[in-house]
Structure 1
Amino acid sequence: MSLSQDDVREDPFAGLSRFRGEFYSCLTRRADALFELVDAVLCADGPVRSLVELSLVGEHRRGHGGLYDALSAGRVDVARLRRALAEVPLPRAADGRLVLAADLTCWLRPSAHTSPERILCHTYGRGKDQHIPVPGWPYSVICALETGRSSWTAPLDALRLAPGDDAATVTARQMRELVERLITAGQWKDADPEILIVVDAGYDVPRLAFLLKDLPVQVLGRMRSDRVLRRAAPLREPGVKGRPPRHGGEFVFGDPATWNTPHVQTVTETRLYGTASARAWDRLHPRLTHRSAWTSQLGALPVIEGTVIRLQVEHLPSGATPKPVWLWWSGTDGTATRIDLLWQAFLRRFDIEHTFRLFKQTLGWTCPKIRTPEAADRWTWLIVAAFTQLRLARPLAADLRRPWEKPTPSDKLTPARVRRDFRHLRPKAACPAEVPKSSRPGPGRPPGGKNTRPAPRHDVHTVGQPGSAKQRTKKSTTPRSRRTG
């Protein structure tokens, strides 16, 4: 399949039909049932609350038994579907570059004792400002971001983390494969600006930049406010003996006396945040040690230079007191215009949270009580394909607003509003699923019969510190040292 942006711009129905046909070709087993299940997700009235209720949607012509059988025994050609997603026209930033955001989202399964490969997932805001680990399946999702104020993203890849996986290593491998697919699909050419990868503070940004240094990408991510970086090593004076230094003076995020004069300083007026001031310091790097994720690095550890950006806004939309945001960019020698584009691109990273909310609250991604992780992966890819169809139907949808909602221009519709009109757009698009054949349901378990083969129980996996020989048994009473890397 080769989707041309010009063709989709001239005839959006052709682009939608072409993707639906390619998506159907990716379903190699129980294709008709899986395809109609996605149509039921897109055409259901209101949010998806239960998986079995999707069998009552008119677009789903099969029974509830076929629905569960499709998720349990169906098959999706994930490699082909990934290529199809990479060929769909993608949004661009203001300077024409691709901006990719990676983040983790969890499918919580605290009571699924018979489901294997569950991991303790960190949840925020549950209870009274408590961070409680809950068993579930964490997924690493990569989306392409738009420019400007929008709740739209373009999900391009989803990967479930298995027990023992390191998030930074898995994300780097996942991002590398995605960038290679985008280059093969013609989304990036030699003359185009480098792809910008945006991540949050949960990732080791310098390590991610080191793992992807051979690709045409730049990495931008947030750092904790207690980090300590190093400046470039000073020039060696003639006649001085001994080993030359590899690191310069310290740059302590929490100590303004170590900042010195910034290389770039900008002030921008924004509507949501008021006055936004950004200061950038060039050529700063972390001082790495042979521990944690760098234990397998042989020889001298690399010096990964980048630019530190400190963003301070006047106020937040929620009314809370704003705190400075520290960013690290893998590039150097940034201009004032470039620094402004970077921190604005980082703020657009939070649009991926709107996509996660739509997945869970509207499309019903975490509603099914699926037992096996393979079926969970299958259902996840169906949700990604459903959202891609909403994105392709975006220029075609009408605003079916509720009486209490304000009118919205057709080019400003949210994904939930586009979904309201998808039922009227579906008959005009291709529908390769065949009509179901008449059949009788199986006998099932005889009345009064007991289940003599109970499902096995599985323990919840915990993630240990990389490179540690054993887990820490009790909380240390020594004061926590500052982060020097």
Structure 2
Amino acid sequence: MLDAIRLGPSDDATAVTATQLREVVTRLVHAGQWRPGDADILVVMDTGYDVTHLAYVLADLPVELVGRLRSDRVMLRDAGPRRSTPRGGQPRKHGGVLTFSKPESWHTPDQATTCDTTRYGTAQALAWDRMHPRLQARGPWLDHCGELPLIHGTLIRLNVAHLPGDRDPKPVWLWSWRTGMTGADVDLRWQAFLRRFDLEHTFRLFKQTLGWTVPKVRDPHTAELLDDPTLIARYRAAMDGQAVGRMVPSLPYIDTVPVDGGLRVRLTTTRAVLNVGEDAVTLSAVGAVYEFAREAEAVLRPLVDGRTMDLAALADTAGLVLEDVVGLVQELVAGQAAVVGSLL
């Protein structure tokens, strides 16, 4: 993972990013994570990065950059082989223009693939080989000496059937400095981009929901605790156990629950957590923890599953006498974790 750097007023984001990438790739090579003969390290980035300039300044590294482009961009075709004209002059540097927002400007793609995905439905990708942007002497190219280069790459347009949550998707445009791609190469690049998207939202979960930017880890043992693979599951269980229930008064049975098998009971929360041990079971609900004998699992399980049950049915299922079931339910009602009534 790259070290986070706070940009100063005079810092150039592209130059800082190039330095970060060079440092991390150098560390990977020194650590033996990349060796001569291995495939290039795939670096995937979202919009906001000048992927063309980064590809130029990092051309000496074993990396391939894939970056997302804005939908209002244009790309230029290769001018093709040089040819002389009767009028002479400089040969053409650029070919035809491909405007992302104007399908009529698109020429026949060099690759077209279609495949099914689990999260996004059918994904269709079009790829045009040897496409380059028209560079201008500004921004990171302002201090470039000599003629601005032509940086060819592969332009990919990805369109999926739907997004999670049934949102309408917009096409995604990607550019890689790799040329001569096959259909499988194209699929690998856009799949890597979608994978980057999932990872980005995972880090957002860590930061915004789990608050992992708050702890100041100063001890290796503390870091090991954060690396526990069960941490998220335990965190969710703890949050579920503290979730406030739907406060429904158990009228008229506020103080005591009568021994009446026809009464019905349900929990006031749908996020209760039941933990079963060797000798006891614990129920975490509405911010409290209740501990019962092991036999109480058969009583609590259908309630935790969200079912409304007759007291008599619970007693029969658990093989307990009705009085014991009523005593258990009375404790939950007193803690506002359950409600009883004849019309539930």
- Shorter-chain TM-score bucket reads 0.5 to 0.7
Aligned to 1:188: 34
Superposed CA deviations along residues 162-191 of structure 1, whole A, max 9, x for unmatched, are 222121111111110110011111111112
Q: Indicate the percent of aligned positions where both proteins have the same amino acid.
A: 46
Residue 361 of structure 1 is aligned with which of 203, 206, 209?
Answer: 209
Counterpart for residue 137 of structure 2: 290
Q: Does 1:318 align with 2:147?
A: no
Cα pair distance change 1:387/1:354, threshold 3 Å: farther
**Counterpart residue type for residue 262 of structure 1:** P
Q: Following the alignment from structure 2 to structure 1, what is the Cα–Cα distance between the partners of residues 136 and 2?
A: 34
- 1:99-138 maps to which residues of 2 (within 5 A)? none
What is the CA distance between 1:283 and its match in structure 2? 0.4
**13, 18, 26: which one pairs with 1:167?**
13
Query: 1:226 maps to which residue?
Result: 72
Q: Which residue in 2 is equivalent to 1:348?
A: 195
Map 1:176-215; keep pairs closer than 5 Å: 176-215=22-61
Conservation of the 8 A alpha-carbon contact between 2:40 and 2:63 = yes
Number of residue pairs matched by the alignment: 238
Once residues 346 and 390 of structure 1 are traced to their aligned partners in structure 2, the CA distance between those partners, rounded to angstroms, is: 31
Which AA in structure 1 matches 2:22? Answer: R
Distance in 1, matches of 2:130 and 2:93, equals 13
Q: What displacement does 1:205 show? A: 1.1
Q: Cα gap change, 1:205/1:232 in structure 2, threshold over 3 Å: closer, same or farther?
A: same
CA 1:388–1:185: 2 relative to 1, 3 Å? farther
Letter in 1 for 2:202: H
- The answer as to whether partners of 1:230 and 1:286 remain within 8 angstroms in 2 is yes
Deviations 1:122-151 (A, max 9, x none): xxxxxxxxxxxxxxxxxxxxxxxxxxxxxx
CA deviations 1:39-93 (Å, max 9, x no partner) are xxxxxxxxxxxxxxxxxxxxxxxxxxxxxxxxxxxxxxxxxxxxxxxxxxxxxxx
Deviation at 1:389, TM superposition (A): 4.1
Contact 2:83 2:91 in 1 (8 A): no
User: Which of these residues, 176, 182, 186, is aligned with residue 329 of structure 1?
Assistant: 176
CA 1:268 to 1:238, structure 2 compared with 1: closer, same or farther past 3 Å? same
Residue 157 of structure 1 contacts residue 178 of structure 1 at CA under 8 Å; is this kept in 2?
no
Match of 1:265 among 103, 112, 115: 112
What letter corresponds to residue 253 of structure 1 in structure 2?
A: F
Pair 1:171–1:387, CA change in 2 (3 A): farther
Matching residue's letter, 1:264: Q
RMSD, matched Cα = 2.7
Which residue of the other structure, out of 100, 107, 110, is the alignment partner of 1:253?
100
1:156–1:239 distance in 2 versus 1, CA, 3 Å: closer
In structure 2, distance between residues paired with 1:405 and 1:234? 67
Query: How many angstroms apart in 2 are the aligned matches of 1:314 and 1:175?
Result: 34
Task: Map residues 5-24 of structure 1 onto 2, 5 A cutoff.
Answer: none
- Structure 1 length-normalised TM: 0.46
Distance across 1 between alignment mates of 2:5 and 2:92: 41
Between Structure 1 and Structure 2, whose CA radius of gyration is higher? 2
Runs of 4+ in 1 over 6 A off after TM superposition: 385-388
Indicate conservation of the 8 Å contact 1:265/1:280, yes or no: yes
The TM-score, its normalising length taken from structure 2, stands at: 0.63
| Distance in 1 (alpha carbons) for counterparts of 2:272 and 2:98 | 50
By how many angstroms is 1:360 displaced?
A: 3.9
2-structure distance, mates of 1:193, 1:282: 20
* 1:361 shift after superposition: 3.4
Please give the alpha-carbon distance, in whole angstroms, between the structure 1 residues aligned to 2:133 and 2:100. 12
1:258, distance to aligned residue in structure 2 (A)? 1.9
**Distance in 2, Cα, partners of 1:249 & 1:386:** 60
Distance in 2 between residues matched to 1:260 and 1:386, nearest whole Å: 58
